[in-house]
Amino acid sequence: MNARRLWLILRKDLVDAIRDGRVLVALLIPIGLGLFYSLAFPDEEPRPSAKVVVVGAADAGRVAERLPEDVGRAIELTVERTADEAAARQRIADDDVDLAILVPDGLLRQAREGRSPPLRVLALSDASPTAFAVADLLPATVGKLTDRPPAVEVQSATVARNTANAVDAMGLRRYFAVAAVAMLLGMVGLLVTPIILAEELDKRTLEALLLAARGSEVLAAKALVGVIYGSVATAGTVLLTRLEPERPLLFALGALGSGLSLIGFGLWLAYLFRSPDKLNTWMGLLLFPILLPAFLVSTDLSPVVDGIFQALPMTQGMRLMVDGSQGSDVFGSHLLAVGVLLVWTVAGFAFLARMLQRRGI
């Protein structure tokens, strides 16, 4: 493979792609969606809010009545009552409430006597700062109920989340920003890159190009166009949406793997349809089911459907990018994700190589 010929073809394809309005539209739509979602869903609510469940009997009722008064207008607080600690734990694990306050019998009497009784609170390890702010107010609330200085010991404990939910962990703005990146990579791999090759096949300019360069050099240049445009557009989307991945290398691995896993199949489809118009028509139908798994990674699916989706490249690429956006894993199983992406990448280029061999290119 000649590096100089590869660079000349790559440069030509990059310039041709910029001049093609269809390519620009395919790139700008997902970037525009990502920017829209970043503006439509703010990181923080205008007024902090928290949902609290108070567990216990008589004393719990008095704490539940007093707590909203102490919070005042600074926090939009919703307080519920229950006598079942197990039910409260379950609601915390399901992320239905932000904080559970376990009020033991005789708490106020012991506090009034100056015994400093324990007051337990439960929350998720990644609960919002608002939930912990409410917990910090509890000693003052008990002190007002007992007419004494704060005399309780707040003991915090964490509850494990039942299911990994990307939307809950990231928030809508960050989740849809990552989804926009996944959509962008799908458009680059299955529409932008192959449309350049389909245009040359349709106008028969590829035949003249093959007289000056090998088929492998031509296709390597097309694939590099996809990698370059995908990388630049991904970086632009991340900056515009203020995504700021906490583990950028893991995020980049997911983005690169997603792009490469589709580029080989995209070039194969270009050879199959051999016309940009046919490619546009068919990819309009095929893009939705191909990209759909990336948007469903945060939903509860049946074991069979989830197993099928985990074998698809967009699912695993999205999972890597979600985990890369966070400081801790939402999905994990990174080796499995890399393996799935690698298999699809090799399969796509193997299909392409087989077709070229049959056509004698």
Helix locations, the chain, DSSP H: 3-19, 21-40, 58-71, 85-93, 107-112, 129-136, 138-146, 166-170, 172-187, 193-203, 205-212, 215-240, 248-273, 276-295, 303-310, 313-325, 334-359
Which CATH code is given to the segment(s) 49-163? Answer: 3.40.1710.10
DSSP string across 38-90: HHHS-SS-SS-EEEEEEESSHHHHHHHHHHHHHHTTSSEEEEEEES-HHHHHH
| Residue 171: strand, helix, or coil | coil
**Residue boundaries of the structural domains of the chain:** 3-41+171-359, 49-163
Cα–Cα distance, 174 to 245 (Å, whole number):
9
State residue 33's pLDDT score: 67
pLDDT of residue 127: 77
* Amino acid 208: pLDDT: 66
Q: What is the pLDDT along the chain (361 residues), one digit of tens a residue?
A: 667 777 777 777 777 766 666 666 666 666 776 666 666 555 555 567 788 888 888 778 888 888 888 777 677 778 888 888 888 888 888 778 888 888 888 878 887 877 778 888 888 877 778 888 888 888 888 888 877 776 677 888 878 777 657 776 777 778 888 888 888 888 888 888 888 788 777 777 766 666 666 767 777 888 888 888 888 888 888 888 888 888 999 999 999 999 899 888 888 888 888 777 787 777 777 778 887 877 777 777 778 887 888 888 988 999 999 889 888 788 888 999 999 999 999 998 888 777 776 765 5
pLDDT at 268: 84
pLDDT value of position 136: 82
For residue 273, give both structure tokens.
Answer: 């349809």
Token couple for 163: 């299911």
